[in-house]
Amino acid sequence: MSRYQVYLIDDDEAVREALAFLLGTYGISVETFGDPQTFLAHVDEAKPGVLVVDLRMPEVSGLQLYQRLAERGIDWPTVMITGHGDVAACRRAFKAGIQDFLTKPVDGEVLVEALQQGFSSLDSRLEKREARALLAKLTEREREVLDMVARGWASKEIAASLEVSARTIDAHRAKIAEKLGTSSVAEQVRLALLSGA
Amino acid sequence: MTSPLSTSRLLGLALWLAALLAFALYSVETSKARLAGELEVTGRTLHRLISQRAAQHDAHMTSLIALTSGAEPAPLGAVRQVMESIVRFYPRIAWIALVSLGEAGGGAGPATGGAGAASGSGAESGAGGMGAASAGAADAGSAAEAGVAGTASGASGAAAGAGGVRMLVEVPEGGGEDLVPLRGAISEQLRGKIGVHASGKNGRYLLAKRAQAPSDAALVFGIDAALLLEPEERPAWAHLRLTLDGQTLLDLPGDDVLGAGASFVQPPHFEKVIDGEGQRILLSLDRALPLDALLPLRSLLGFAVLAGLASFALMFALRQRAAAQQSQQVARQAEARALLQERETLLAHASRVNAMGELASGIAHELTQPLTAVLSRSQAALRLAGAEKPDLGMITQALDVNVREAKRAGEMLKRMRDYASNKAPEPKPSALNGIVSEIVALTAADLERRGVKLELDLAVEAPEAVVDPIEMEQVLHNLIRNAADALEAAGILDARISIATKIVGEDVKIEVADNGPGIAPDVLPKLFVPFFTTKADGMGLGLSLCQTLVERVDGRIEAGNAAVGGARFVITLPRAKSRNAEAMSGRQDG
Q: What angle do CA B449, B472, B506 make, to 5 degrees?
A: 125
Average pLDDT in the A123-127 region?
87
pLDDT of B263 reads 61
pLDDT 10s digits, B539-574: 666 788 888 888 888 899 998 888 888 899 999 999
Annotate B437-453 with b (16+ C-beta within 10 A) or e (fewer): ebbbebbebbbbbeebe
pLDDT of A111 reads 92
**Inter-chain touch B451–A59, beta carbons under 8 Å:** yes
**Inter-chain touch B380–A58, beta carbons under 8 Å:** no
| Single-letter amino acid, residue B530 | P
Strand ranges for chain A from DSSP E: 5-9, 30-33, 49-54, 78-82, 100-103
What are the chain A neighbours of B448 within 8 Å (beta carbons)? 58
- Strands B194-198 and B204-210 come out as antiparallel
What are the chain B neighbours of A105 within 8 Å (beta carbons)? 368, 371-372, 374-376
Indicate the helix (H) or strand (E) that contains B292. helix B291-294
CA distances from B50 to B90, B94, B234 (A): 13, 16, 11
pLDDT grade for B4, boundaries at 50, 70 and 90: low
Three-class secondary structure of residue B273 per DSSP: strand
The residue among B70 and B476 whose pLDDT is bigger is B476
pLDDT 10s digits, A56-108: 776 778 888 888 988 888 889 999 988 766 677 788 888 878 888 888 888 88
Asked if pLDDT for residue A33 goes beyond 90, the answer is yes
Q: Check CB contact of B580 with chain A, cutoff 8 Å.
A: no
* Cβ-contact B458, B420 below 8 angstroms: no
Q: Which of A151-165, B183-197, B375-389 has the lowest mean pLDDT?
A: B183-197
Q: Check CB contact of B375 with chain A, cutoff 8 Å.
A: yes
What are the chain A neighbours of B361 within 8 Å (beta carbons)? 83-84
* Minimal-distance CA residue of chain A relative to B377: A18
Q: Check CB contact of B368 with chain A, cutoff 8 Å.
A: yes
> For residue B105, which of B116, B121, B89 has the smallest C-alpha distance?
B116
pLDDT of B264 reads 67
What are the chain A neighbours of B362 within 8 Å (beta carbons)? none
Q: What is the 3 state secondary structure string of B482-546? A: HHHHHHHHHCCCCCEEEEEEEEECCEEEEEEEECCCCCCCCCHHHCCCCCCCCCCCCCCCHHHHH
Asked if pLDDT for residue B109 goes beyond 50, the answer is no
Query: Interhelix angle for A87-95 vs A62-71, to 10°?
Result: 10
Using CB atoms, pick whichever of A21, A24, A84 lies closest to residue B365.
A84
Using CB atoms, pick whichever of B365, B370, B380 lies closest to residue A14.
B370
CA dist., res. B122 & res. B139, Å (int): 21
> For residue B555, which of B439, B430, B456, B455 has the smallest C-alpha distance?
B430
CA of residue B391 relative to chain centroid, distance: 104
Please enumerate, as own/partner, the contacts of A107-110 that have beta carbons within 8 Å and a separation of 24 or more.
A107/B375, A107/B379, A108/A22, A108/A26, A108/B375, A108/B376, A108/B379, A108/B380, A108/B383, A109/B379
**Inter-chain touch B369–A22, beta carbons under 8 Å:** no
pLDDT 10s digits, B218-237: 888 888 888 888 888 888 77
- Strands A5-9 and A30-33 come out as parallel
* Minimal-distance CA residue of chain A relative to B409: A14
Using CB atoms, pick whichever of A21, A24, A106 lies closest to residue B372.
A106
Asked if pLDDT for residue B590 goes beyond 80, the answer is no
pLDDT of B122 reads 38
CA of residue B51 relative to chain centroid, distance: 54
> For residue A25, which of B394, B369, B370 has the smallest C-alpha distance?
B394
With an 8 Å Cβ cutoff, the interface of chain A facing chain B consists of: 12, 14-15, 17-19, 21-22, 24-26, 56, 58-59, 81, 83-84, 103-109
Average pLDDT, chain A: 87
Asked if pLDDT for residue B259 goes beyond 70, the answer is no
B 442-471 residues inside an 8 A Cβ radius of A: 448-449, 451
CA dist., res. B4 & res. A178, Å (int): 117
* Optimal mutation site among A16, A23, A25, interface B, most CBs of chain B within 10 A: A25
CA dist., res. B541 & res. B292, Å (int): 77
pLDDT grade for B112, boundaries at 50, 70 and 90: very low
pLDDT 10s digits, B267-312: 788 888 887 656 578 888 888 777 777 777 788 888 888 888 888 8
* Cβ-contact B322, B79 below 8 angstroms: no
Asked if pLDDT for residue B468 goes beyond 50, the answer is yes
Record the pTM: 0.42
**Inter-chain touch B365–A21, beta carbons under 8 Å:** no
CA dist., res. B409 & res. A82, Å (int): 17
Q: Check CB contact of B73 with chain A, cutoff 8 Å.
A: no
**Inter-chain touch B380–A108, beta carbons under 8 Å:** yes
* Minimal-distance CA residue of chain B relative to A24: B380
Q: Please tell me what DSSP assigns to residue B575.
A: B
pLDDT 10s digits, B73-103: 778 888 888 888 888 888 888 888 888 887 5
- Strands A5-9 and A49-54 come out as parallel
From B526's Cα to the closest Cα of chain A, the distance in A is: 35
Average pLDDT, chain B: 77
**Given its phi and psi angles, is residue A59 left (phi above 0), alpha (psi -120 to 50 degrees) or beta?**
left
pLDDT of B361 reads 60
Beta-carbon contacts of B429 under 8 Å, excluding residues fewer than 6 positions away, are B464, B465, B466, B576, B578, B582, B583
Q: Please tell me what DSSP assigns to residue B576.
A: P
Count CB neighbours of B127 within 10 A: 11
